[in-house]
């Protein structure tokens, strides 16, 4: 790969994948006329992987490490197209909030007061746990509000 290559580098593979490719080639050489479907081959490969020694696994780990180094080196030179995020149409109507979202909005400040140093993600997880513990009767007002938003 040259400097500022436009072709995306091939992703590096794990030691197990290197072993699978090697095992497949060995199997084809030893038994060229026998066909194994993928599940059967995967099962045989998995059994063989579990039985090989750490010394043999080191060989595949070294291959994977060199492959990872190659991938990282090529990615440094890769200057292909960056995927742009799709811009939301400002004029498009917003989706109506779900009952859980309405519940979260009502309880956000309460949770934030109890735990002022929590991140938004932690507050959202706490709201999710609270919602899961709510009874069906407690959820009804939020579901009714969500239905109103959906209908009009």
Architecture of the domain made up of 99-151: Orthogonal Bundle (1.10)
CATH class of the 15-77 domain in this structure: mainly alpha
Decide if 104 contacts 64 (C-beta within 8 A): no
Dig out the tokens for 1 from the structure: 């790969």
pLDDT at residue number 88: 82
The string of pLDDT tens digits covering residues 103-112 is 999 999 999 9
Q: How confident is the model at residue 1 (pLDDT cuts 50, 70, 90)?
A: very low
Tens of pLDDT, residues 52-98 = 999 999 999 999 999 999 999 988 888 777 777 788 888 888 889 99
Contact assessment for residue 146 and residue 99, using Cβ atoms and an 8 Å cutoff: yes
Q: What is the pLDDT of residue 4?
A: 58
Mean pLDDT taken over the chain: 89
pLDDT at position 18: 94
Distances (CA, A) of 136 to 49, 62, 143: 50, 56, 10
CA distance 97 to 151: 12
Domain residue ranges in the chain = 15-77, 99-151
Q: Do domains 15-77 and 99-151 have the same CATH topology?
A: yes
């Amino acid at each position: 790969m040259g400097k500022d290559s436009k072709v995306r580098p091939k992703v590096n593979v794990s030691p197990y994948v290197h072993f699978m490719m090697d095992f497949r080639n060995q199997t084809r050489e030893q038994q060229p006329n026998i066909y194994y479907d993928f599940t059967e081959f995967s099962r045989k490969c998995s059994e063989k992987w579990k039985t090989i020694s750490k010394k043999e696994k080191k060989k595949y780990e070294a291959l994977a490490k060199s492959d990872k180094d190659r991938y990282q080196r090529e990615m440094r030179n890769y200057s292909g197209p960056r995927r742009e995020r799709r811009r939301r149409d400002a004029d498009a109507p917003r989706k109506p909030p779900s009952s859980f979202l309405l519940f979260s909005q009502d309880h956000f400040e309460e949770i934030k007061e109890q735990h002022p140093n929590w991140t938004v993600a932690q507050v959202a997880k706490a709201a999710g746990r609270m919602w899961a513990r709510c009874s069906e009767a407690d959820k009804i007002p939020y579901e009714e509000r969500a239905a109103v938003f959906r209908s009009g």
